[in-house]
């Protein structure tokens, strides 16, 4: 494990159609969509050789950000969805995300794997993640993994059982790079 970093944050500015990512880069957003249960964002990946597009749903009541990455050829990953365990707070027309280190990789119908546990433990040990936030993150992680397992590791089935229906941008054909 390397040096422990403070919790990463991201800002989703709906009226400005901007996303300040966890590295502090300001990115233009192609689409935002607000629903009673969360916020959808779709945007191009800039200066990332492994992926060219991402779609993310912020789900504040579950403490999750669900991302569908569009990998570049040769960089595909054996995953269907990537879940960040986090706090999501709505501040007017802006949504603020604070990452709590734990992530869940979902392979639909196969498994759901919790990753980055070493970062989580390091953050708690060093005091950059306080015990209350750490406990909340653990409860959210267990709830998600239990729910996914109970629904055959099917994200849509689990979320649907909670009244949450995610809709995604349809993936274009080969060679597409985000040009509308």
CA-to-CA separations, 82 to 57, 79, 171, in angstroms, rounded: 11, 7, 17
Dihedrals phi, psi of 149, to nearest 5 degrees: -65, -40
- Read off the pLDDT of residues 10-44 as tens digits, 9 standing for 90 and up: 999 999 999 998 889 999 999 999 999 999 999 98
pLDDT in tens, 83-127: 999 999 999 999 999 999 999 999 999 999 999 999 999 999 999
Q: Which domains does the chain have, with CATH numbers?
A: 9-159 (2.40.380.10)
Q: Render pLDDT for 43-75 as a digit per residue (tens, 0 to 9).
A: 988 877 888 889 999 999 999 999 998 877 877
Angle at 132 between CA 130 and CA 138, to 5 degrees: 100
Radius of gyration from C-alpha coordinates of the chain: 16
Give this prediction's pTM.
0.92
């Amino acid at each position: 494990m390397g040096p422990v970093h403070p919790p990463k944050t991201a800002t989703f500015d709906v009226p400005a159609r901007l996303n300040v990512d966890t590295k502090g880069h300001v990115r233009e957003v192609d689409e935002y969509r607000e629903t009673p249960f969360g916020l959808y964002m779709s945007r191009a990946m800039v200066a990332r050789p492994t992926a060219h597009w991402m779609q993310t749903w912020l789900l504040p009541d579950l403490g999750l950000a669900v991302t569908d990455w569009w990998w570049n050829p040769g960089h595909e990953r054996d995953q269907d969805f990537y879940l960040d365990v986090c706090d999501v707070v709505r501040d007017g027309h802006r949504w603020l995300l604070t990452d709590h280190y734990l992530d869940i990789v979902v392979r639909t119908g196969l498994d759901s794997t919790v990753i980055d546990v070493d970062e989580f433990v390091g953050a708690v040990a060093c005091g950059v993640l306080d015990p209350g936030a750490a406990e909340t993150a653990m409860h959210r992680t267990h709830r998600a993994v239990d729910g996914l397992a109970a629904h055959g590791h099917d994200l849509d089935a689990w979320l649907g059982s909670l009244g949450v229906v995610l809709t995604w941008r349809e993936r274009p054909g080969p060679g597409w790079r985000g040009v509308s």
